[in-house]
Amino acid sequence: MAILELKNVSKEYQKGLCAVLNFNLAAENGDFVAIIGQIGSGKTTILKMIAGLERPTSGEIFIDGILSNKVKTKNRDVAMMFQNFQLFSNKTVRKNLKFGLKLRKLDKKEIAVRAFEAAKEMQIENILDKKPNEITQEERQITCLARVLVRKPRIFLLDEPLAVLNSKAKENVLNIIISLHRKLPIPFIYTTKNEDEIFAATKVILLN
């Protein structure tokens, strides 16, 4: 059984605007699903529906075999990384890593250990006490990856994570993502406009 399955999922907005029409997807542990499409093709909307940030107009979303259309975001165990740096500018890297775990009311010691382990895995221990405006764009995006890693999600969604990076940083961050995929036995759903980014994909979906 697929860990994640979308069956004939559609999303319509007001005035008859259809962002996604009859979309199907099945992803198992170990899959790296690349969704390729230009701006306006519905890539981000698909990820938001999987994460619970948007509800489909029709169709079904199953996570671990459970119909999840109306399951709240916090209960889906799905992590989403956006193309823009989703970090708190007034918090250090360390506090950014801890923030989501504090919301889950985990033990303080466990939070500290998981934050440091994620930073060590991403090799950003040296910037833990810096704020986002004190580090590079590449380090900010790596911090975003670490913030997802620390949550230990069931499904990892990446919405054009390289879009705002320069060429060298894109290569480095993509290599980190691929390395994470090899280590984590969970589905990765990755959206992009660039076919050069999908060489590690196990499944490819092209949106018109």
User: How does the average pLDDT of the chain come out, rounded?
Assistant: 92
Measured between alpha carbons, how far is residue 108 from residues 76, 101, 103, 115, 130 in Å? 23, 9, 11, 11, 21
Print burial letters for 5-30: b (CB count within 10 Å at least 16), e (below 16). Answer: bbbebbbeeeeeeebbeebebbbbee
| Each residue's pLDDT tens digit, 40-72 | 899 999 999 999 999 999 999 999 999 999 999
What does the block give as tokens for 162?
């390289």
Question: Over pLDDT 70: what percentage of the chain?
Answer: 99
Q: Residue 162 is which amino acid?
A: L
Residues 187/27, Cβ–Cβ less than 8 Å: yes
pLDDT of residue 50: 97
Classified as helix, coil or strand, 8 is strand
Whether the per-residue pLDDT at 1 is higher than 60: the answer is: no
What domains are there in the chain, each with its CATH number? Answer: 4-77+153-206 (3.40.50.300)
178 DSSP β-pair partners: none
From the number of C-beta atoms within 10 Å of its C-beta (0-12, 13-18, 19+), residue 190 rates as buried
Residues 90/131, Cβ–Cβ less than 8 Å: yes
Closest CA to 137 of 177, 164, 161: 164
pLDDT of residue 10: 97
Name the residue with higher pLDDT: 131 or 84. 131
Q: How many CA atoms lie within 13 A of 176 on its CB side?
A: 25
pLDDT of residue 199: 87
| Each residue's pLDDT tens digit, 7-35 | 999 999 987 789 999 999 999 999 999 99
**Orientation of helix 108-121 relative to helix 93-103, angle to 10°:** 130
Closest CA to 184 of 154, 157, 163: 154
| Each residue's pLDDT tens digit, 165-207 | 998 999 999 999 999 999 888 999 999 999 989 988 999 999 9
